[in-house]
């Protein structure tokens, strides 16, 4: 039965990565609720993916609840547990719960064995500090993330997306949060076709618009999180 749960999880991951995917969250919730209680780690992985989909689609209270479920089910210090901490930190920062985001990032950075994964936690911390206006702490966290290796044999399989595009996007977002808009604009990577990276384009759009350098009409985004990021609207916590 765990193999069946993991097959469902892989399907959700595949669908979520497709450009233009919409309204996957309600299906993910139903699949998680219907999953047999056969293997805690398989269920934890499904809860983590469900939380990510809900986060991407701006169902933030449900995303938080499913992250908590994943953390409760996952083996402490295991791959699913570490990935959930990474996602949960981003989700809490997204809704303005910066102290919670930072605590999760610090916890994950302390336990992660992979240098690449530690760098991602450091960037989560940098994002939270920068949102709170703590420039010194944000820049120190950026420095900790700067030396993430391109090839990390200790990285877990799910860390395939932790590449230079991802790292540059977070560095740029931190600089933008600190008001260093010209540096941020020069740091943002070019557009990516992955759905979850639409938010990078949204952050870049907000930065260039603030500098008065965005040419033409606002872009159109399919990801609800990217749309929300582009507009800068406040979110329920």
Which range of residues forms the domain containing residue 44?
A: 1-74
Contact partners, residue 237, CB within 8 Å, separation at least 6: 60, 95, 96, 97
- Domain assignment present for residue 187? The answer is no
pLDDT, one tens digit per residue, over 66-111 is: 999 999 999 999 999 999 999 999 999 999 999 999 999 999 999 9
> What is the pTM for the complete model shown?
0.89
Give the pLDDT score at 237. Answer: 42
Per-residue confidence band for 62, with pLDDT thresholds at 50, 70 and 90: very high
Give the pLDDT score at 78. Answer: 93
pLDDT, one tens digit per residue, over 40-49 is: 999 999 999 9
Give the pLDDT score at 108. Answer: 96
Task: Find the mean pLDDT for residues 12-24.
Answer: 80
Give the pLDDT score at 43. Answer: 96
- Domain assignment present for residue 96? The answer is no
Give the pLDDT score at 194. Answer: 66
Structure tokens belonging to residue 75:
């083996």
Percent of residues, the chain, with pLDDT higher than 70: 95
- Domain assignment present for residue 44? The answer is yes
Q: Which residue bears the tokens 């933008």?
A: 176
- Domain assignment present for residue 103? The answer is no
- Domain assignment present for residue 17? The answer is yes
pLDDT of 21 over the 80 cut: no
Average pLDDT along the chain: 89
Q: Is residue 19 a contact partner of residue 222, using CB atoms and an 8 Å limit?
A: yes
d(CA 170, CA 150): 16
Give the pLDDT score at 220. Answer: 87
Task: Find the mean pLDDT for residues 158-174.
Answer: 87
pLDDT of 28 over the 90 cut: yes
Give the pLDDT score at 236. Answer: 45
Give the pLDDT score at 1. Answer: 54
pLDDT of 233 over the 60 cut: no
Contact partners, residue 203, CB within 8 Å, separation at least 6: 169, 172, 173, 176, 188, 229
Number of domains into which the chain is organized:
1
Task: Find the mean pLDDT for residues 115-129.
Answer: 95
């Amino acid at each position: 039965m765990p193999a069946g749960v993991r097959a469902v999880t892989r399907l959700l991951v595949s669908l979520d990565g497709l450009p233009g995917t919409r309204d996957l969250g309600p299906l993910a919730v139903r699949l998680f609720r219907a999953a047999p209680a056969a293997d805690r780690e398989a269920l934890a992985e499904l809860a983590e993916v469900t939380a990510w989909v809900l986060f991407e689609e701006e169902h933030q209270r449900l995303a938080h609840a499913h992250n908590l479920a994943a953390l409760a089910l996952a083996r402490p210090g295991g791959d699913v547990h570490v990935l959930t901490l990474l996602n949960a930190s981003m989700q809490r920062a997204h809704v303005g719960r910066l102290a919670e985001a930072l605590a999760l990032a610090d916890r994950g950075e302390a336990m992660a064995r992979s240098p690449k994964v530690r760098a991602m936690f450091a960037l989560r911390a940098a994002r939270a500090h920068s949102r709170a206006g703590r420039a010194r702490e944000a820049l120190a966290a950026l420095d900790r993330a700067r030396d993430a290796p391109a090839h990390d044999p200790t990285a877990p399989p799910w860390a395939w997306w932790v590449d230079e595009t991802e790292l540059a996007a977070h560095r740029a977002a931190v600089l933008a949060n600190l008001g260093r808009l010209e540096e941020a604009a020069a740091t943002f990577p070019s557009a990516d076709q992955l759905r979850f990276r639409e938010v990078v384009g949204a952050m870049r759009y907000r930065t260039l618009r603030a500098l008065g350098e965005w040419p033409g009409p606002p872009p159109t985004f399919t990801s609800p999180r990217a749309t929300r990021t582009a507009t800068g609207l406040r979110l329920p916590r």
